[in-house]
Structure 1
Amino acid sequence: MNRGIIYAVLAYVAWGLLPLYWKLFASLSSWEILGHRVLWSFVFVALLLLIGKRFRELMAVLRQKSTLFPVIWSSLLISANWLIFIWAVNNGHIVETSLGYYMNPIINVLLGVLFLKERLHPAQWLSIGLAFVGVLVLAVSYGAFPWISISLALSFGLYGLAKKRMKLDPMLSLGGETVVVLPLAVLYLSFIGVQGQTHVGALDAGRLILLLLSGAATAMPLFWFAQAAKRLTLSTVGFIQYIGPSISLVLGVLLFKEPFTPVHMVCFSLIWGALVLFTWSSFRGSRSVVRPIAREQ
């Protein structure tokens, strides 16, 4: 449990600071950044597996249907999440990304109830209702569906569920996820290179090195998250994740000067209230928030 909490905190602090990282490559398209992120993530993970003499284990995972399909599913989910996040950060929507990740714990709780048979107290159901009202207020104010926030919350919530149910070593599952989308990334980067549409050559040496290190910047938080998901209930992981969007919200409002209107304040206050209520109910009860989930071996 204690290790799981440490891993979760490390992952969410790193994710909260990611807007600073992707802003460095704003001259590249979101698809090009994603292509490089996938490519260098594969290189980084492959090196770790080779050093640990575990590459054959990864190949065995990819040859079995029972493990291949869950890996493909989680790979597609996290790739979609990456693309939406990168686009939003570099198009002035960091506040909306933070809202999405504030909503993500509520999504995690609901997925835990629906798929993992986790149980909630009435106060915790009320917290879900408060969060839903907060999102509804923002949607009505915008006059449009908050697709960035909802898409990020759903894609990462489903990714967390897939990781929770996947009976794989975290490094092997992460390696499988990068292998699955690697051919698509290489094909896309090759295509824009041939067409002369790539902009990576315009980066200075410092930013080019940082782009190459995007594999480590991507893989390590995902590895920490996988370790946390293995040791903690899905609901616990979900609520620790408030660290990440809090950091992003501060960056978006104070550093990048994105608007934070009174409607935003109402929406976020309702969601923060949901967090306080859920946490209070969790610590007040004499038994666990949810029925314990069998740990992975």
Structure 2
Amino acid sequence: MNRFRRPSEPGAGPGRHHGLAAGLSAYVLWGFLPLLFHALRAVPPFELVSWRVVFTVPVCLAFIAATRSGGDLLSVLKNRRVLLRLMLSAVLIGSNWTLFVAAVASGHVLATSLGYYINPLINVLIGTLFLGEKLGWRQWAAVAIAATGIALLLGGAIETLSVALTLAVTFALYGLVRKLTPVKAIVGLTVETLALLPLAMGYAFACTMHPGGSSLARGGLTATLLASSGLATAVPLLLFAMAARKLAFSTLGFLQYAAPTISFLLGILVLGEHLDPLKLACFVLIWTAIGLFSWDAWRRQRAIAA
């Protein structure tokens, strides 16, 4: 879900098809993630994220071993500058995870969907402010339309607005830090989760001292789902990294909307969230902005290829 990766346009062939399958799989898995956290809604958000970090670390280390990236990991751990940046990205992604889990548990899946629809447009603004990227008038128009949709929520859906904007901004800032920190996706995630691990283990241990005990100790389905959160975190990211190497930016830009679309449909059709007229109007304006932005990106890509 990151606009900042700009892979070169590959030619047609098996590599591109594999990249397309990997990219679509990543976004579909991200789209269905609310179901996992909805099933774990009885687990307090901070505890859930703590176990998510704890179970993600061994998955990452297994992938590090499988891809023979141990040397890359050691190089990063010895580089103070890169390490500090990844610690910052760890704080950002940890905050993003916690808010996402809390939003799903409190019945705000539509707000998370809105946040990830907005995210690419926030990326555009960050690229303009921090990376010197220039926007055309169509892109500015898309941003203005999206801003109008967001402003509508000020009229009566402040909680939805705050969740959506915080998710979008934290993930966009995370993307910016990772763009400026050139490390492999699996190496970066490994360092980030290792940075969060002491805090996560401390909180998880504290939960065992609580009268209700640790959620993991309940066993059964809860323990299984908590353990699966490690795979649910690492696998989509690795699939995305594979796709980013094989697909053009324009293709990834189109695929990224699969995740919030799936979450949007899950929120309404499966989890029974209410879409009132105000929120619907906001979504329509955001979709219009995305359509204009995507059309302009496709048009520019065609012009470059011509």
Q: Which of 110, 128, 134 is 1:113 aligned to?
A: 128
Q: What are the within-5 Å matches in structure 2 for residues 67-146 of structure 1?
A: 67-142=82-157, 146=161
Q: Which of 217, 240, 243 is 1:201 aligned to?
A: 217
SS in 1 for 2:303: coil
Which 5+ residue runs of structure 2 have no aligned equivalent? 1-8, 11-15
CA, structure 1 residues 111+233, in 2 after alignment: closer, same or farther (shift >3 Å)?
Answer: farther
Task: After TM superposition, give the deviation of residue 60 of structure 1 in Å.
Answer: 2.9
Compare 5-14 and 63-72 and name the one that shifted more: 5-14
| Counterpart for residue 251 of structure 1 | 266
Task: After TM superposition, give the deviation of residue 175 of structure 1 in Å.
Answer: 1.0
Q: What are the within-5 Å matches in structure 2 for residues 229-244 of structure 1?
A: 237=252, 240-244=255-259
SS in 1 for 2:286: helix
**Structure 1 runs of 4+ with >6 Å offset:** 230-236
Question: 1 CA distance for matches of 2:224 and 2:160?
Answer: 38
Question: 2 CA distance for matches of 1:276 and 1:164?
Answer: 25
Work out whether residues 44 and 215 of structure 1, in 8 Å CA contact, stay in contact via their aligned partners in 2: yes
Matched, 1:217 2:237: no
Question: 1 CA distance for matches of 2:249 and 2:81?
Answer: 22
Question: 1 CA distance for matches of 2:57 and 2:108?
Answer: 28
Q: In structure 1, what residue type is equivalent to 2:193?
A: T
Compare 17-26 and 45-54 and name the one that shifted more: 45-54
Task: After TM superposition, give the deviation of residue 234 of structure 1 in Å.
Answer: 7.6
Q: In structure 2, what residue type is equivalent to 1:63?
A: K
Could you give the per-residue CA deviations for residues 212-236 of structure 1, whole angstroms, max 9, x where no partner exists? 1211110111223445566778887
Compare 145-154 and 224-233 and name the one that shifted more: 224-233
Could you give the per-residue CA deviations for residues 57-95 of structure 1, whole angstroms, max 9, x where no partner exists? 323312211210111111111111100000110110101
Question: 2 CA distance for matches of 1:230 and 1:72?
Answer: 25
Q: Which of 198, 202, 216 is 1:183 aligned to?
A: 198
Question: 1 CA distance for matches of 2:82 and 2:102?
Answer: 31
Q: In structure 1, what residue type is equivalent to 2:218?
A: A
Task: After TM superposition, give the deviation of residue 208 of structure 1 in Å.
Answer: 2.1
CA, structure 1 residues 66+227, in 2 after alignment: closer, same or farther (shift >3 Å)?
Answer: farther
Question: 2 CA distance for matches of 1:100 and 1:211?
Answer: 24
Work out whether residues 109 and 238 of structure 1, in 8 Å CA contact, stay in contact via their aligned partners in 2: no
Q: Tell me the number of residue pairs that the alignment of Structure 1 and Structure 2 aligns.
A: 288
Work out whether residues 106 and 238 of structure 1, in 8 Å CA contact, stay in contact via their aligned partners in 2: no
Question: 2 CA distance for matches of 1:239 and 1:107?
Answer: 16
CA, structure 1 residues 224+51, in 2 after alignment: closer, same or farther (shift >3 Å)?
Answer: closer
Matched, 1:55 2:67: no
Matched, 1:266 2:281: yes
Question: 2 CA distance for matches of 1:276 and 1:138?
Answer: 20
SS in 2 for 1:168: coil
> Identity over aligned residues, as a percent?
36
Question: 2 CA distance for matches of 1:145 and 1:25?
Answer: 21
| Counterpart for residue 295 of structure 1 | none
CA, structure 1 residues 35+65, in 2 after alignment: closer, same or farther (shift >3 Å)?
Answer: same
Which 5+ residue runs of structure 1 have no aligned equivalent? 290-297
Question: 2 CA distance for matches of 1:108 and 1:161?
Answer: 8
| Counterpart for residue 3 of structure 2 | none
CA, structure 1 residues 234+118, in 2 after alignment: closer, same or farther (shift >3 Å)?
Answer: farther
Compare 257-266 and 113-122 and name the one that shifted more: 113-122
| Counterpart for residue 53 of structure 2 | 38
CA, structure 1 residues 143+85, in 2 after alignment: closer, same or farther (shift >3 Å)?
Answer: closer
CA, structure 1 residues 288+266, in 2 after alignment: closer, same or farther (shift >3 Å)?
Answer: farther
Work out whether residues 215 and 223 of structure 2, in 8 Å CA contact, stay in contact via their aligned partners in 1: no
Work out whether residues 148 and 285 of structure 2, in 8 Å CA contact, stay in contact via their aligned partners in 1: yes
Work out whether residues 100 and 148 of structure 1, in 8 Å CA contact, stay in contact via their aligned partners in 2: yes
| Counterpart for residue 168 of structure 2 | 153
